[in-house]
Structure 1
Amino acid sequence: MFEQGPFGRQAEEMIEQLKKTLGDTFGEDFTASVRERAMSFRTDLIEEDTRFLLEAELPGFRKEEIDIDYTASYLTIRAVRHEQNPESDETRRVIRSERRYGEFVRRFFIENADRDKIRASLKDGILKLDIPKKEVAGGKRILIEGED
């Protein structure tokens, strides 16, 4: 009667059951995308002339629980939430707990970001990143000298 949503351990169990039931009908890519959506968060990534703007929904996370890394043109956002069991006693019992726990990770390929100037803020569950682009020297037209 009271079941938790498809997150955490139950998501893994559901995916394993799908694999058993469907076999290789959809392949590993199908189950990987289901798992990714269950343990992910929504983001918007916008490119402007001089920068990228990224907004990620991370409600309930504190800034200490979020790690942002930019290495080799990949921006990785990792948020870790540790399980906190709701307290039950003789007068009160937990019937349903729908909070997601675990590690939530998104990775984006962002070329030419100026890693030293990336700025991040977290307000009302929205992580905002301002990612300036590196200044790239303009091209130079080369003229061929000599006879035709």
Structure 2
Amino acid sequence: MNMTNEIMDRRNDIRDWMNNDPWMNGFSSLFGDNFPTNDTLKTDIKESDKDYSVKVDMPDFDKKNINVSYNNNTLTISGHRDNFADQNNKNGDVIMSERSSGRFSRQYHLPAVDQDNVKANYDNGVLKITLPKLAENKDSSHHIEIN
């Protein structure tokens, strides 16, 4: 297992604990409906020799409200989703509402990316990002004399 996967596993373990702990789960109610739930920005990341492939579930986001950046070996995905019109029903006949609105952000440590050739596509509520890895220079060894 490479270091990137190990870091992601640790982060996911902590996130799973927070989402499954009864006290932490109740904590979100203090912030109202705009607190991100455990189903926000679900992500799959695949790594090959040539690139990273990232898929993020972002249903009901408008493409213009999604921002993707790569800086210091970190991919950042952020965006905001406006309130849903039927959530503010004046008649009081909404008996359940689980869809979240507000600002959301996730970060992923993905080292050695050719940031000039990153490609992103948003279709059917799924953001797909391909991050090519930097080509390794096979002749990058350098002999150092010892004095």
Q: Normalising by structure 1, what TM-score?
A: 0.65
Compare the two structures and name the one with the higher helix fraction: 2
Q: Which residue of 1 aligns with 2:56?
A: 56
- SS of the equivalent of 2:106 reads strand
Could you report, residue by residue, the CA deviation over 1:66-101 in whole angstroms, capped at 9, with x for unpaired residues? 1101011110011211213426466x8333332211
One-letter code of the match for 1:15?
Answer: F
Residue 140 and residue 89 in structure 1: after superposition, are their counterparts in 2 closer, same or farther (change >3 A)? closer
Residue 118 and residue 88 in structure 1: after superposition, are their counterparts in 2 closer, same or farther (change >3 A)? same
Determine if contact 2:67/2:79 at 8 Å carries over to the other structure. yes
Percent identity between the two aligned chains = 25
Name which one, 1 or 2, has greater alpha-carbon Rg: 1
1:38 aligns with 2:76: no
Of 39-48 and 123-132, more deviation after overlay is shown by 39-48
Structure 1 stretches of 4+ moved >4 Å: none
Cα deviation, residue 104, structure 1 = 1.7
Cα deviation, residue 15, structure 1 = 1.2
Could you report, residue by residue, the CA deviation over 1:99-122 in whole angstroms, capped at 9, with x for unpaired residues? 211122110011111111100011
Gaps of 5+ in 2: 1-22, 30-34
Q: Which residue of 2 aligns with 1:14?
A: 26
Q: Counterparts of 1:16 and 1:131 in 2: how far apart (Å)?
A: 33
Cα deviation, residue 127, structure 1 = 0.8
Residue 89 and residue 72 in structure 1: after superposition, are their counterparts in 2 closer, same or farther (change >3 A)? closer
Could you report, residue by residue, the CA deviation over 1:41-85 in whole angstroms, capped at 9, with x for unpaired residues? 211111111111111111111211211010111100112112134
1:84 aligns with 2:84: yes
Q: Which residue of 2 aligns with 1:114?
A: 114
- SS of the equivalent of 2:64 reads helix
Residue 82 and residue 47 in structure 1: after superposition, are their counterparts in 2 closer, same or farther (change >3 A)? same
Residue 52 and residue 59 in structure 1: after superposition, are their counterparts in 2 closer, same or farther (change >3 A)? same
- SS of the equivalent of 1:127 reads strand
Could you report, residue by residue, the CA deviation over 1:8-48 in whole angstroms, capped at 9, with x for unpaired residues? xxx9882178xxxxxxxxxxxxxxxxx77537321111111
Q: Normalising by structure 2, what TM-score?
A: 0.65
Query: How many residue pairs align between the two structures?
Result: 117
One-letter code of the match for 1:99?
Answer: R
Aligned residue runs from structure 1 range 59-78, under 5 A: 59-78=59-78
Gaps of 5+ in 1: 1-10, 18-34
1:135 aligns with 2:135: yes
